[in-house]
Structure 1
Amino acid sequence: MEKNKIVTITKKVGDNMVEFYIKYKAVHDLPVNNLPKFYSFGVPTYTNLGDQAVSLAQKKYIEHEFPEYQFIEILEDDNDEAIEIVKRVIKSGDIVSFVGGGNMGSLYTDHEEARRKVFSTFVDNLTISFPQSIHFEDNEHGKAEEKLSQEAYAKNSHLFLVARDAQSYHRMQTTFENKVLFTPDMVLYMKPVEHNVKKESTLIVLRHDSEKVVKQETVDAIKKLLSKNKSVAETDTVLDTVERITPVNREKLFKDELELFAKQEIIVTDRWHAMVFSVLTGTPCLLFGNSYGKGKHAYFDWLEHINWVSYTDEDDFERIQSQINKLKRVETHKYDIKDDFNQLRHIIQLNSNKYGF
């Protein structure tokens, strides 16, 4: 087979063609060559920079750790059509994956339905569900969704689920029959970034969805405290300045967000990835919880040893104030959690060795 030959197998979906992203370029035709493929399904186009950073980190991880694979990203919009296309060309040594971050479970059923389709389709290939949390609600809806996922996941004996916190690790093990790995959130694979910028303000980064649990009176008291010394801005990791994010504009927006975080004296947030961005930029950060504890558990699993970030469940303002003042005084230090990705690295390496890549 010719190395650079292109096979035209896409089909029209309304007025659009399915897009596959290789490097940072969108193509409508999958390349046919001798390279093993690493298919990444479920890549988001919505404007949550936390989830976008997860996709970017996965790409960098595979391209850096396993350059023998040709990494191909598939947008969530094209999931169903892309499944049919990939089915026609996939080879035994290729790897299928579904994007991490977000939440496996009943809170976001569109994502869970897409995940089921991918896992139950490519049952003969190594399949990886990249690191994420899990939460099936304890009600009729949650139990019904859980059963559907159990049935779909059980069809794939080559499926590895990867949990990014200990609570999710335990829940995945007790919910599914599939193998479960324990690995940090993929964004923590990214290298720290130094910014020589002035700490000109403070930033409050809070959710505006059903996961929010921080009381407004607590937020108001924190604003009053922080505004004594610096200007206080409020934002979210969900951008309202763009309508759609793809692998073409994703990295620039991510770098812009890190620069924003680097300019802050302190970050107060209930967004897990806002804390991760603070880790990457060496910015003091206080993290509050969400409705099912994903940030709390991931913090204590991976970040408790990093002294410029901290977690709290407090609603006693004096204790919150003490934590904030302490964080402002700490100095950054080196950290390295690359070895915590070894479980993930091992299963991919086994696949490479098995097929002689």
Structure 2
Amino acid sequence: MNGIQAGSLSQQDFTEDKTIMQKHQEIMLGLKQHHTAITALLKGRRFHYIDIPVHDNIGDLLIMLGTVRFFKDNGLSPATVSNTYYFDHQWVRPGDVLVFHGGGNFGDIYGSIHDLREKLIAAFPDNRIVLMPQTLFFSSVEARARSAATISRHPDLHLFVRDTVSEKLAYEFTDKVYLVPDMAHHLYPIRHSGGAAQGNVRIQRVDPEKPKTPESLRSLPIRTTTDWVDVIGDERRLMTLFAKLEWRFDRYGWDRALTKLALWFWVPVSRRFMGKAVKLFADHETIVTDRLHGHILSCLMDKKNIVIDNSYGKNSTYMNQWTAASPLTTLVKE
């Protein structure tokens, strides 16, 4: 990984630093240009944005915020916005498009989410389905075959994937497959300010995707170790409040109210959560992470980052496809 040491900089150091940043910025700006196929599928169509994340994973919130920015920048406006659980079948009209939030939950690790997605897809065989950029992973061949048997029946299902491994699997589910980067890239650039950045911060998973720390990093000094849930802290109560309001609005069938609640309450709260992560990253010189969106947020902020692969290779396959050429990033394997 290239980096400039603290202290006085020579003209050569300054030139190298500038060249490093220019190359990174070119890569990041280029990644925002890959989603024209999504625009083409939605332009002029009434559509529903489904499966928004209502939890304390800042990575998923970054995806949602990037998706909302993408919609705005391309003149797209969803008719309804909700999570999968509260999506009402009565909202869908002939010709409507169902757009599912992207991320890394297509598979059997987070089975309940995928099961709900399958049921909605099966319920609307005559409506176009768009699955925003996903990583596909099934730990069970049998579970993958069952899911593919259900989803592949849909005649107009468009599956966007974030890496070549997912791309190969995706053709078991549909012949309409698109290889594109994550939607969070539409947040680039994220500006930040503060004092001098010092030390390394480790964003470390505590869920089923948690990997082992590579031997080469075990002696690396870490100033701060945390994860997304700790970054959000006590403000998780805002998430609980949103969930309670969502349940109440759904009980009375207020679809417009649910959409306004998502856009006017949950999206600003998500930006607030993101802001806490941005401040944490801004206070440190280098981000060390096994979370894909720890890496992506670092890139959005033009920060140096060291990435450890997750339990099934999601991080490495993504980086090798989209961000490995950035001089600000380093992928470390065991």
Give the TM interval when normalised to the shorter protein.
Answer: 0.7 to 0.9
2: distance between equivalents of 1:178 and 1:123? 16
Tell me the residue number matched to 2:193. 196
Tell me the residue number matched to 1:269. 289
* Higher normalized helix content (fraction of residues): 2
Which of these residues, 234, 246, 264, is aligned with residue 225 of structure 2? 234
2: distance between equivalents of 1:58 and 1:294? 20
1:72 aligns with 2:63: no
Which of these residues, 26, 32, 37, is aligned with residue 46 of structure 2? 37
How many residue pairs were aligned? 261
In the TM superposition, residue 256 of structure 1 has moved relative to its aligned partner by: 2.6
Tell me the residue number matched to 1:107. 109
2: distance between equivalents of 1:165 and 1:240? 32
Tell me the residue number matched to 2:9. none
Per-residue CA shift, 1:69-114, capped at 9, x if unaligned?
Answer: 3353112441xxx232223xx241x321111012211111011101
Which of these residues, 147, 164, 167, is aligned with residue 166 of structure 1? 164
Tell me the residue number matched to 1:50. 59
Q: CA 1:162–1:36 in structure 2 vs 1: closer, same or farther (change >3 Å)? A: closer
2: distance between equivalents of 1:95 and 1:84? 12
Tell me the residue number matched to 2:129. 127
Contact 1:153 1:178 in 2 (8 A): no
SS of the equivalent of 2:155 reads coil
Identity, % of aligned pairs? 24
Alignment of 1:331-346 (within 5 A): none
Whose RCO is larger (CA < 8 A, sep 6+)? 2
SS of the equivalent of 2:228 reads coil
Extract unaligned runs of 5+ from structure 2.
1-43, 243-265
Contact 2:188 2:301 in 1 (8 A): no
Tell me the residue number matched to 2:70. 61
In the TM superposition, residue 215 of structure 1 has moved relative to its aligned partner by: 3.2
1: distance between equivalents of 2:298 and 2:120? 33
Residue 317 of structure 2 aligns to which amino acid in structure 1?
A: H
Q: CA 1:42–1:70 in structure 2 vs 1: closer, same or farther (change >3 Å)? A: closer
1: distance between equivalents of 2:322 and 2:79? 27
Q: Could you say what the CA RMSD is over the residues aligned between the two structures, in angstroms?
A: 2.1
SS of the equivalent of 1:196 reads coil
Tell me the residue number matched to 2:28. none
Q: Which runs of 4+ in 1 moved over 4 A?
A: 216-220
1: distance between equivalents of 2:295 and 2:178? 23
Normalization by structure 2: what TM-score?
A: 0.73
Instruction: Name which of structure 1's ranges 196-205 and 128-137 shifts more when overlaid on structure 2.
Output: 196-205
SS of the equivalent of 1:160 reads strand
Per-residue CA shift, 1:124-147, capped at 9, x if unaligned?
Answer: 22211111111111xxxx233223
Q: CA 1:278–1:71 in structure 2 vs 1: closer, same or farther (change >3 Å)? A: farther
Normalization by structure 1: what TM-score?
A: 0.68
Contact 1:44 1:76 in 2 (8 A): no
1:177 aligns with 2:174: yes
Contact 1:262 1:278 in 2 (8 A): no
In the TM superposition, residue 218 of structure 1 has moved relative to its aligned partner by: 5.9
Tell me the residue number matched to 1:253. 273
Per-residue CA shift, 1:53-72, capped at 9, x if unaligned?
Answer: 111211211221133x3353
Q: CA 1:298–1:216 in structure 2 vs 1: closer, same or farther (change >3 Å)? A: closer
1: distance between equivalents of 2:326 and 2:214? 28
